[in-house]
Every structure is written in C-alpha cells, then in structure tokens.
Amino acid sequence: MSKLGEILRTQREKKGITLEQAAADTRIREKFLNALEESDYQSLPGAVYTKGFLRNYAEYLDVDPDELIPLYQRERGQPEPPQTKSFKPYRPVVRRSLIFRPVVFVPVLVIAAVGLFAGYIYYQFTTFAVKPRLEVTDPATDLIATTAEVVLRGITVPDGRLTVRVFPDTLGDIRPDSDGHFVVTVGLKPGANHIEVEILDAAGKTNRVSRSVQYQAPAASAAPPQLVIEQPANGGKVTNTPVQVSGHVAGPVASLSINNSAVPLNPDGRFDTRYYAPAGPQTFTIVARSASGTTIEETRTVTVAYTQAVVTVFVKGGDAWLLATVDGSPATGATGRTYHDGETAVFSGREVRIKSGNAAVTQVIYDGQPITSLGRQGEVVERVFTQ
C-alpha cells in the first residue's frame, strides 16, 4: 500500500466511516475510493477525474487536498504541473449532520435548551398568569337599591374558595356548587355599599369583581296628625252670630288651614276662629298637615240664619268717632265715642243706624256681607241697616 492510500484509509477508519458510507456521502463510486486507498491507479479513470475524486475525498476526511495531490503525482511518476489558478472542483453534497462532532453538537444543544426554556415560560404563563374565572351576573352593573338586601349571583371555578366583602365587613367563605354557580344574599347599609367578590383557586391564583350598590332607605312613615273639631257641630244652625270654628290638633302638625286659609295654632295645639258668613248653608273644610306632607281633613256644614240686622263695625287705618242707634235708642257704650284703630263693635236689632265721623276707616259686615268702608277720609256718613 502506498503512502497516499495509507493516509486515506487511516483517516477514514479513524472517523469510523465505512467505505460504503463514504461513497454515499461523497457520491464517488465505492470502487474508485477503494482504488485510491489501494493505490490501484490502473482502475481509476483519467488523471483529471482522479484528482477531482482525490480532492473531494480528502476534504470529506478533513485532510488537506493540497498535500495529497503532489503525493499522488509522485506516486504516478508524473511531473507536477506549474501552480496556476487553483482548481475548485464540484463539491458533492455531504451529509455531515450524521456525524456528531463538537462543532455541530454544541449549537444543537444550545438551541434545544433555549426551546425548552421558552416552553417552560409559556407553560408558566398559561398555567399561572391567567386568572380563574369569576363572573357576577346579577347585578350585572352598579345599581341603586330600594331594599335593605341585594342577591348576588354568578359563576366561577367549582373548586375555588369564594369570599364576599361589604367593606369593611367580610361575609365569610362560600363554596360554589359543582358547576361553579353561587348565590349570596348581602345586607346593605343606607348610602354607598362597596361589595367585592374574590375567588381563590386550587393553584393559588385570585380574581376579583366588585359592585357598588347605593341603598336609598325609604323615609320612615311619620304618624299622621290628629285633628279634633269642637265647634261647630256638623249639620248645626247658627243664628245672628259668626260661625265659631274651634278645636285642637295633636301629633306632628306643621300647619292648619280652614277653607284654604292658614289658621294660627296655640302652643297647646288649640285653635279658635270666627267666620262671618251670609245666610244659607256654609261648609268649612279644616286640614291639618305634617312636615312630611301627611294630611288629615275634617268637614263641617252648618246653616247660617239672620232674624235681626247684625252689624259688625271695624275701625282700620285710623280713628273714627261713632254713634250707633239700635231700634231708635242709642247703643249702650257707643254713644258719641271715639273708636281707635283696631277696635270692633257688634250691634243687632230690627234697625241699626251707624254714624261715623271718618267714613274711610269705618268698615262694616252686615248679616255676613262685608262693606269695606262707608265713605271718604274725614267724611261724616250715616248708614241704616234693617232686617
């Protein structure tokens, strides 16, 4: 065996490559490779092809072909050609991936480690970063409640531990049913209520959903006012006098009105008012009202009659000298007297004659019919009223 053939065979066997495998990898027929290793140059094709085979085979075996070509020339007894342009033969496809050398194995190991790490990170994200399911379906949004309780309904993971808090209080732990549904009744306080629902699953992950519920407590119903009418008797008859409406109230009474006109109340709740009404049926509606708007109402109907001329004199806006004559005789205590602003007098009889020294400030109610004044300022007027 020549030195060239010995170098090729030794290198091939050192790599653990069979001659059949080398032929498949280099695409050089096995008999030509065997002829190179046996220095059987007679079995090889022409020198040009043989040099190409030798160069490809040397590169395949990681041997410098520039050292083997001159050796091949000497063993063939051929002169070495002058060095000109280097010949670059066609390089066959070599399946070196099958040979696990360090230069290939280390990058593969690094890529595999990076892939495993990325897979681990993805697993952690999908397993631990995703929150457990928690939905509060009722109420679906924040709301205003008119009752002291609200019912929470929803769905979550069946094996989780559910906690409901109405700040600052905690209602405790609740276990969902087998399909994850839950129902919780929550008590409310007047005003804003912040409700938080939290789920803790078996892996230790949590999720929270909150609702804000504004509870508007209904106003406490106040006790209705009480109203007692003492006068007049319903269906009664009043003759020749004003109608006296009197009584008292109790309870949370804020105001009292008679026929839509406000009436003052005494500190003890009593009231007493006179009404000058014309002859005939008269109705009085008395209404007591509380501060919250609750009312109570009483109605009295009376018949007013006059058998005499009833004259009520009011002096308003100044002083007036008055002379009153009833049935031809001076009225007791009213003959030639000056009445001051705000004074009142009542005269009744078949004939009532009133004489005023200041007609403008003298007002009269005659049988329930008002007369605002008897005349002009400073005017002396005399009026006669008969039945």
State the pLDDT confidence band at 322, using cuts at 50, 70 and 90. confident
pLDDT band of 168, cuts 50, 70, 90: confident
How far is residue 223's CA from residue 235's CA, in Å, rounded to a whole number?
30
Distances (CA, A) of 168 to 193, 212, 258: 10, 13, 53
> pLDDT tens-digit profile of 176-207?
888 889 998 988 989 999 899 899 888 888 99
CA atoms within a 13 Å half-sphere pointing along the CA-CB vector of 293: 3
Whole-number percent of the chain with pLDDT over 70: 87
Whole-angstrom CA distances from 366 to 5, 276, 301, 345, 383 are 160, 9, 21, 12, 11
Instruction: List, for residues 91-113, the tens digit of each pLDDT value.
Output: 544 454 455 556 666 777 889 88
287 beta partners: 257, 297
Give, to the nearest 10 degrees, the angle between helix 19-26 and helix 47-60.
110
Task: Please give the pLDDT value at position 87.
Answer: 45
Token code pair at residue 98: 């099958």
326, burial (CB in 10 Å: exposed 0-12, middle 13-18, buried 19+) = buried
Q: Token digits for 377?
A: 């300022």
Rounded Cα distance, 159 and 179, in Å = 9
Greatest C-alpha distance within the chain: 187
The pTM of the full predicted model, rounded to 2 decimals, is: 0.43
* Closest residue by Cα to residue 365 from 345, 379, 351: 345
Cα separations in angstroms, 190 against 41, 153, 219, 232, 283: 110, 22, 11, 48, 46
- Rounded to the nearest integer, the mean pLDDT of the chain is 85
pLDDT of 224-279, one tens digit each? 789 999 999 999 999 999 999 999 999 889 899 999 999 999 999 999 999 999 99
Domains with residue ranges and CATH for the chain: 3-98 (1.10.260.40), 134-215 (2.60.40.10), 226-305 (2.60.40.10), 309-386 (no CATH)
